[in-house]
Amino acid sequence: MLIRDKQYRMVIQPAHKFFGFIQIDAYGSPVNMAEREKTILDSLDRPGYAGDIPEVAGMIQRGKSNLDWNKLVDYAVRFETKALLQRLGYLIDLLNLPIEPEARNRLFVQASGNTKCYLGQPRRWHTGGNYNATWRVVGNIPRRELLAEIEVR
């Protein structure tokens, strides 16, 4: 859909993923806008709409001091998607993010199971890469591309 010379794509979410928004004033009209934490999770859930996983990793890194980590984990669990939980945990550890140990442990418990996932979409990034046994994630995105815009400390 084209509005004011900008292309927009409607993304339909199932009811259980429709939460985590605030109402803002946009030029005199009330508009629902996703909270920071929900935006991160929507992006991990459907990375193709957000510039892919490297862009999401950059979003998390740049926003790390403004994120409510407990809310992020609570919201992540509400998605009911193991791969999202696994990717989030993998990125938190990789980027050495300042998540409270209790929140990280809650995320780990919710992500537990025996299914593995790929960090990036295999059709784009293929299926090779190092396996992270903690989160059961195949890091199939080359590290230099994943961290291209990030300074890891």
Residue 10 included in any domain: no
Contact indicator for 54, 148 with CB cutoff of 8 Å: yes
State which residues form the domain around 66.
35-146
pLDDT of residue 2: 84
pLDDT of residue 152: 52
pLDDT of residue 64: 95
pLDDT of residue 151: 64
Residue 13 included in any domain: no
Residue 130 included in any domain: yes
For residue 15, give the 3-state DSSP assignment: helix
Residue ranges in the chain assigned as alpha helix (H): 36-45, 53-63, 69-78, 82-94, 101-111, 122-125, 143-146
The two three-digit tokens of residue 103, written as one number: 């929140």
pLDDT of residue 150: 84
Residue 56 included in any domain: yes
pTM listed for this prediction: 0.90
Q: What is the CA angle 78-12-90, rounded to 5? A: 45
Residue 137 included in any domain: yes
List of the chain residues with pLDDT < 50: none
Split into its structural domains, the chain has a count of 1
Residue 16 included in any domain: no
Condensed to tens digits (0 to 9), the pLDDT of residues 110-150 reads 999 999 999 999 999 999 999 999 999 999 999 999 998 78
